[in-house]
Amino acid sequence: MMQDLAKQSRSITSLRDFLELLGDAGQAITWSERVMPEPDVRNIAVAASRDANGAPAIVFDNIAGYPGKRTAVGVHGSWDNIALLLGRPKGTTIRELFFEIAGRWGDAAAQISTVPEARAPVHECRIESGINLYDVLPVYRINEYDGGFYLGKASVASRDPEDLDNFGKQNVGIYRLQLQGPDSFTLMTIPSHDMGRQIMAAERTGLPLKIAVMLGNHPGLAVFAATPIGYEESEYSYASAMMGAPIRLTKSGNGIDILADSEIVIEAEMQLGERVLEGPFGEFPGSYSGVRKAPIFKVTAISHRKNPIFENIYIGRGWTEHDTLIGLHTSAPIYAQLRQNFPEVTAVNALYQHGLTGIISVKNRMAGFAKTVALRALSTPHGVMYLKNLIMVDADVDPFDLNQVMWALSTRTRADDIIVLPNMPAVPIDPSAVVPGKGHRLIIDATSYLPPDPVGEAHLVTPPTGRDIDELSKKIRAMQLGALQ
């Protein structure tokens, strides 16, 4: 059973494959009742994401004014869907999924194959003149006060304008795109992201910046290419290695490596030096971004599969698909990077709002050691901007079990074990920042006391733990579900 699931997971090449796999497992549904683009699609997506463990993907195929078009939401919207993507059964715990991903880190090799453009499914249909994005994309307003219609789950591929032939310096990342008329869109990024660097380099040198926007992609790409990795690592190679499966690439019409099996690819070129108003957009902290002037791209061509599926995401005040999509892969790199220096780190939970709050479990080597580990976490690539609140717990506390974390806070935290680091870098969209981009960090040391700390450790009750107990709790849950049927 487990091996079948793993094999099925490795044979996924496209969104379509994955939707079929999810459908067979009861994790994808088709919504054929007629809906209005607003507010129905949003409302249904939000209602689904209330069930973070078991929500299905939803494919809409009867949206008013978009006859014959399909939109998918919630493809990565639950832990069960993530489990199936990783080749694990429904009901796999978040902790198990975390170690599944952490175990793959740096372990496997990439398998990249190339498909000639003429045989790539993504190029089945091609539009090079009379371009109107609305002809292809059944868009809708994701949150009520968004400034327009957004593509919230687009993977954007580009080459470094100063090093066009370097495969490794190709960037693939998820950026929010706002439609700005039939053949234009704005892209939001910050200078430290790869796309931000490439935009600034193009404008500094006057070199053209061409991009390919991929929609409805291999579901592994969104999971593994959403979080920054080293600038000279290819996200395609990385996603292939982490999935333990081949990835099929082809070329876009404007010469960029793209996934051969994506649903839709939009080719575009940046309008150097131009900026137009972008936003607001309901972002992952659960608040709207401001309105700013962002770079604008002009669409030069669109390729798509026959009867394409437009994949989008609901993002806003949590819990949402954004949290299940990026949560584990935000946590696992921090874990791997910390363990290079501190093998005492036993798990990292950075599921909350892209790691604005993180919980790290560590075997204390000496009194105060957890604080040292916390400071190291702040200097990991993700920690620099995102890890705002850190809770440090002992190795006997599961950071994925918030009841246990609260126990540690209640019984092992002293008020003078809290550190506030004022005026640190912050993600610009954190609404609690002092000014956008600058804010305070908080470390709560909820680990127990060790010498030379004069306060002794309490005499702990040791309830039974371990695999046997995990299996028993799954059995109880299964018996309960069985009883309901």
Partner 1 sequence: MSKTVCPRCATGGALDDYQGKEGGKVVWTIHRCPTCCFSWRDSEPASAIDIGIRSADFAVDAANLDRYVKILQQ
Which residue of 3, 50, 65, 454 would you call a contact of partner 1, by CB under 8 A? 65
Is residue 451 reached through a cis peptide bond, with omega within 30 degrees of 0 on the bond before it? no
State which of positions 238-277 bind partner 1 (CB under 8 A). 275-277
150 or 238: CB nearest partner 1? 150
Which residue of 116, 182, 255, 456 would you call a contact of partner 1, by CB under 8 A? 182
- Catalytic one of 278, 283, 311, 321: 283
12 or 63: CB nearest partner 1? 63
Say how far apart CA 433 and CA 429 lie, in whole Å.
8
CB 244 within 8 A of CB 105: no
CB of 246: closest distance to partner 1 in angstroms? Answer: 36
Residues 6+ positions from 327 with CB-CB distance below 8 Å: 350, 351, 352
Task: Tell me the two tokens of residue 166.
Answer: 């370097």
With contacts defined by CB under 8 A, name the span among 102-110, 283-291, 308-316, 474-482 that binds partner 1.
283-291
- Compute the Cα dihedral for 409, 100, 173, 326 and give only its sign: negative
CA 223, 193, 9 angle in degrees (round to 5)?
A: 10
Residue 57's CB is within 10 A of a number of other CB atoms, namely 25
- Please state the φ and ψ torsions of residue 96, each to the nearest 5 degrees: -65, -40
In sequence order, the β-bridge partners of residue 424 are 439
- 385 touching partner 1, by CB under 8 A: no
CB of 64: closest distance to partner 1 in angstroms? Answer: 5
181 or 368: CB nearest partner 1? 181
Is 283 tagged catalytic? yes
CB 363 within 8 A of CB 394: yes
CB of 271: closest distance to partner 1 in angstroms? Answer: 13
Which residue of 149, 238, 342, 386 would you call a contact of partner 1, by CB under 8 A? 149
The mark string for 329-368 relative to partner 1 (x by CB under 8 A, - otherwise) is ----------------------------------------
- 442 touching partner 1, by CB under 8 A: no
180 or 227: CB nearest partner 1? 180
With contacts defined by CB under 8 A, name the span among 200-208, 302-310, 419-427, 472-480 that binds partner 1.
200-208
Which residue of 25, 90, 110, 134 would you call a contact of partner 1, by CB under 8 A? 134
Say how far apart CA 285 and CA 426 lie, in whole Å.
13
The mark string for 22-51 relative to partner 1 (x by CB under 8 A, - otherwise) is --------------xxxx------------
Say how far apart CA 470 and CA 122 lie, in whole Å.
44
CB 155 within 8 A of CB 195: no
Residues 6+ positions from 89 with CB-CB distance below 8 Å: 1, 2, 5, 83
Which residue of 112, 164, 200, 419 would you call a contact of partner 1, by CB under 8 A? 200
Say how far apart CA 187 and CA 294 lie, in whole Å.
7
71 or 178: CB nearest partner 1? 178
Nearest alpha carbon to residue 72 among 137, 26, 149 = 137
36 or 384: CB nearest partner 1? 36
Residue 117's CB is within 10 A of a number of other CB atoms, namely 16
CB of 141: closest distance to partner 1 in angstroms? Answer: 7
With contacts defined by CB under 8 A, name the span among 192-200, 305-313, 355-363, 418-426 that binds partner 1.
192-200
197 or 440: CB nearest partner 1? 197
With contacts defined by CB under 8 A, name the span among 58-66, 216-224, 299-307, 457-465 that binds partner 1.
58-66
- 203 touching partner 1, by CB under 8 A: yes
Say how far apart CA 164 and CA 376 lie, in whole Å.
35
User: In what helix (H) or strand (E) does residue 220 lie, and over which residues does it extend?
Assistant: helix 219-224
CB 391 within 8 A of CB 405: yes
Say how far apart CA 259 and CA 252 lie, in whole Å.
9
Chain residues binding partner 1 by CB under 8 A are: 36-39, 64-67, 132, 134-135, 141, 144-145, 147-149, 178-182, 188-191, 196, 199-200, 203-204, 275-278, 280, 288, 290-295
Provide the annotated active-site residues: 283
